[in-house]
Amino acid sequence: MALSELLKEELILQLGSLPSNALTVINRMVVEVERICTKSDRIQKDGDIRSWQLTLARHRLSKCIEYYNLGSKQGRVELHSHLSVMIYRHVAPAQAQLSFAARHLLIEDFLQDFYADSLKALRRENYLADNYTPRTKIELAEYMAFTEQYAKRRIMTGYGAVQLLVLRAKSFAKRQPSDTVMDIEQVTEFVKGEEAQMQSRSPVMQQVRERLVADTTDPHDAVVRERVIGELVQYLESQGHSDCADYLILKLQDFPAPEIDDILGLTPRKRDYLQQRFKYHVEKFSHSSHWQLVHQWLGADLDQKLGLSTKQWDVFVGQLDPMQKQLLELKRASMSDFEIVKALKITPKQVQKRWTQLLEIASLVRNNPVESSSHGINHSIAA
């Protein structure tokens, strides 16, 4: 069966019907796959070209279907979140200690240009008109799938193969003057002084701040996920575990285990050790230093009973000792750590230790298949 006919049948099987302009999109996939197989020395030497064509074509079709099912709005959110994670560490100069909000603005600026460049690449590689723009749902899905694939292309440099998006982000960071980075940081902070206040009231500054607030205040938006990941990457690096940070980024990009081992130079023994350290530090991150951010992301904050149903909450509270119950009440009353230390008459370190234990108990109850209700939170950041 011709490759285009095979993809057509699979698309109908997945979607139930053939979307408008789908045949044109399929034909472009086939042309691209055949071009790759013709130019790849590795595929030509392997000899089983038909198998490679099927594998590559099905992978591209599955990505297109994935974005098609998400729809234009959620598809854009997922793509933007995915690409943001890839460049979070690279989009600013290495010496710049930027807040999440400031780094987020740089990411937005960089990715807008990248999206335009990706559309140009789609036109160029498929011999489309210079004014071509995706208009149907399947064409938009094709563009988003192409953009993700385009971002992940590996470019050979003097330091080895680097993903195209990461390479571009590093070049973008080098072009950022130090005063620009400082200005972006100032936009995200409260201003002081008459001159600074006048500057903050300028239309441009107000527009940037409004955009920032709009992008970061909704806890259900993908930005919260980006922030959790960004903070986790910074935490791992600050603890001297940059290899764990690299492992996280590769996992989030859905790299298969053998490819992660190859990129990071891991033996099976080293991988097991890395995964153990990664799990330990993720649990420490989510139960101690950044518990509020993680629980907000999971929809399991204190005002939501730590994500527990009423039945689970009763089970959870019943397992606490008197001091833990008092600590829980003080936390729910929004008392500061200083006030809690005074009230419980213990050291800050003991407060932190008891709170971590309390969160671990809540996590066990929340994820217990016997006690969990349909409203329980079953997410795990380590997954």
pLDDT digit string, tens, across residues 86-128:
888 788 876 666 666 777 788 888 999 999 999 999 999 899 9
Q: Which two tokens stand for residue 13?
A: 């099987």
Domain end residue (candidates: 296, 320, 335): 296
Beta strands in 114-188 (DSSP E): 154-157, 160-163
Are residues 163 and 20 part of one domain?
A: yes
For residue 156, is it within any domain?
Answer: yes
Phi (first) and psi of residue 379, to 5 degrees: -80, 160
Q: CATH number of the domain that 345 lies in?
A: 1.10.10
Count the Cβ atoms, other than its own, within 10 Å of residue 235: 18
Q: Name the DSSP letter for residue 194.
A: H
Alpha-carbon distance 383 to 374, whole Å?
20
For residue 170, is it within any domain?
Answer: yes
Strand partners for 160: 157
Are residues 171 and 36 part of one domain?
A: yes
Domain tally for the chain?
Answer: 3
Per the listing, tokens 């909450």 go with 313
Alpha-carbon distance 307 to 362, whole Å?
9
Residue 331 domain boundaries: 298-366
Q: Which two tokens stand for residue 120?
A: 């140009």
Are residues 44 and 117 part of one domain?
A: yes
**In this predicted model, what pLDDT tens digit does every residue of 210-240 receive, in sequence order?**
544 444 444 444 566 677 777 788 788 778 8
Residue type, 206: Q
Are residues 115 and 4 part of one domain?
A: yes
Are residues 103 and 24 part of one domain?
A: yes
Are residues 277 and 252 part of one domain?
A: yes
Three-state secondary-structure class, residue 265: coil
For residue 188, is it within any domain?
Answer: no
For residue 209, is it within any domain?
Answer: no
| pLDDT at residue 49 in the model | 84
Are residues 247 and 129 part of one domain?
A: no
Greatest mean pLDDT among 99-108, 217-226, 287-296, 352-361 = 352-361
Are residues 271 and 303 part of one domain?
A: no
Alpha-carbon distance 91 to 112, whole Å?
13
Are residues 70 and 48 part of one domain?
A: yes
Three-state secondary-structure class, residue 321: coil
**How far separated are the first and last CA of the chain, in Å rounded?**
40
8 A C-beta contact, residue 213 and residue 205? no
Are residues 129 and 8 part of one domain?
A: yes
For residue 224, is it within any domain?
Answer: yes
Supply the pTM of this predicted model. 0.54
For residue 303, is it within any domain?
Answer: yes
For residue 184, is it within any domain?
Answer: no
Are residues 358 and 303 part of one domain?
A: yes
Alpha-carbon distance 234 to 109, whole Å?
21
Q: Which of 268, 236, 269 is nearest to 252 (CA)?
A: 236
Q: What is the CA radius of gyration of the chain?
A: 25
Are residues 240 and 167 part of one domain?
A: no
Say yes or no to pLDDT of 48 above 60: yes
Q: Name the DSSP letter for residue 16.
A: S
For residue 202, is it within any domain?
Answer: no
Distinct helix (H) and strand (E) counts, the chain: 19, 2
